Copies of this chain bind each other. A is one copy, B any other.
Amino acid sequence: MSMPRQDQATPSLSDHGLDSGDTLMAWAHDLFPICRSLTGAGVRQTLSYLTNKVPGMTVKEVPSGTKAFDWTVPQEWEIGGGWLEGPDGQRIVDFDDNNLHVMGYSEGVDCRLPLEELQQHLYSLADQPDAIPYVTSYYNHNWGFCLPHRVRESLKPGQYRAVIEARHFDGVLNYGELIVPGETEREVLLSTYICHPSMANNELSGPLVATALARWLHSKPRRLTYRLLFVPETIGAIVYLSQHLEDLRQNVIAGYVLSCVGDDGPVSFLPSPSGNTLADRAAEHVLAHHAPDHLRYSFLDRGSDERQYCSPLVDLPVASVMRSKYGTYPEYHTSLDDLSFISAQGLATSVDMYRRILSALEANQTPANVFPCEPQLGKRGLYPTVSTKDTHAQVALMKNVIAYADGRRDMIALSEAVGSDIATVAPICRKLADEGVLTLS
């Protein structure tokens, strides 16, 4: 699969009241160093930062041990530090240098052991010898250190000291929730996750873009209601669904998982299982016009919280528009996915893509003719007064919109029927509705 060329024009986000890519990069610098996990202080610190940016967003907590379908909310993880000391007393890796060095959700430990035994607790990547891999052990008791393969190869036989100052205890799982109410209760779900430690594209980019969209959604009245979730991946989505499933199934007309939206790679689309929900249709309509060379994945390639939102007994209409999809770029889930891997341009383009998709959903009412036969455009000043062979083309789009406004096609389908962009068709429909020729419902 060849990588499509990317549109390099920076979208003018300020015209639409959106934060700039540079602003998002500034937030990224603030948030990157925090050691996030499924639970704990890093998540709360992150949510607190974002709450300050987004009026109305609240931080929720769910106690450890709470049941959620087939799952149980895990204990909180507290990590104070961790290091590995060599036979010569030198520190080999230290959590303070990079929080990826300690395996996520690691047990506390303080012991001496020979290299041979230590090896079972070390994780590295032979084919990326300079990268620290991101490794977790959420649902099994374990401890470990992650380090560049090059460093691991240099370790000499002898006694090592392994110290991880960590503990697990009954606490809470936190997540952030924002409801932006609209004219109607029909709602759009945006979900992102805040459980990854110091990595940038997967995953700090999602919360950054979600925050920019949240601020924008607040900026003026909306037809639809928006629900934004900042949850720990998997368990956070499952816990939220277990407590809000009926609401979501009743109201959500489209949703997106925001992940891997910060780099300059190709725009990537991951559809829902059926591929024909409103979430798919809105995204694909916008991408067809504004990122025609995007990559289209299958739901088989999924990997984030659409796994929960689209599971058979949940079955929400959720898709995902990304840049370089998780699992497809070598820096993924390593220390190489750092702030240099994302860019102001990449973040801005993602914000703009989602702005277009949400705008399409906002506009997506169903136009229907008021009159049998064509309406008389001339008497409403909508038609040129002299008919020549040249004037036909001028009103063609307007007449096509009327011809296909059958009260069954929503505006996305209508736009596709007439071969145009909903951003072009929507104002025509509003004008025709103002003239009493169409209704919008």
Contacts and interface: CB of A to CB of B under 8 A. Distances in A.
Contacts of A137: 385-387
B312 A406 contact: yes
A394 to B, nearest CB: 14
Contacts of A51: none
Given A312-B406, A388-B133, A403-B307, A70 B300 contact: no
Interface stretch (A108-116, A182-190, A372-380): A372-380
B142 A373 contact: no
A403 B372 contact: no
A250 to B, nearest CB: 15
B311 A369 contact: yes
Nearest to A306: B403
Contact of A378 (B139, B237, B332, B378): B139
Q: In this complex, which of A133, A136, A140 has the most chain B Cβ atoms within 10 angstroms of its Cβ? A: A140
Contacts of A389: 125, 133-134, 327, 332-334
Interface in A270-314: 273, 299-300, 302-303, 307-308, 310-314
B237 A308 contact: no
A415 to B, nearest CB: 13
A341 interface: no
Contacts of A242: 372-373
Given A138-B387, A385-B140, A371 B69 contact: yes
A230 interface: no
Contact of A392 (B138, B139, B144, B303): B303
Given A300-B400, A307-B403, A400-B300, A371 B70 contact: yes
A376 B419 contact: no
Contacts of A375: 70
B311 A403 contact: yes
A325 to B, nearest CB: 13
A123 interface: yes
A403 B332 contact: no
Interface residues of A, number: 67
A407 B312 contact: yes
A410 to B, nearest CB: 14
Contacts of A140: 378, 385-386
A254 to B, nearest CB: 19
A376 B307 contact: no
A432 interface: no
Contacts of A142: 385-386
Interface string A89-100: 000000000000
A71 B376 contact: yes
Contact of A136 (B134, B273, B387): B387
Contact of A69 (B69, B125, B368, B372): B372
A132 to B, nearest CB: 12
Contacts of A404: 273, 312
A433 interface: no
Given A372-B242, A404-B273, A388 B312 contact: no
A237 B302 contact: no
Interface string A392-418: 100000011011111100000000001
Nearest to A372: B313
Interface of A: 68-71, 123, 125, 133-140, 142, 144, 234, 237-238, 241-242, 245, 273, 299-300, 302-303, 307-308, 310-315, 327, 332-334, 368-369, 371-376, 378-379, 383, 385-389, 392, 399-400, 402-407, 418-419, 437
26 contacts: A68-B373, A69-B372, A70-B374, A70-B376, A123-B386, A134-B389, A138-B387, A139-B376, A139-B379, A139-B383, A140-B378, A237-B373, A241-B373, A245-B372, A273-B406, A300-B400, A300-B419, A308-B373, A311-B369, A311-B402, A312-B369, A312-B405, A313-B369, A313-B372, A327-B389, A334-B389
Shortest 6 CB-CB contacts between residues of A and residues of B: A312-B406, A140-B385, A139-B378, A313-B372, A70-B371, A308-B373
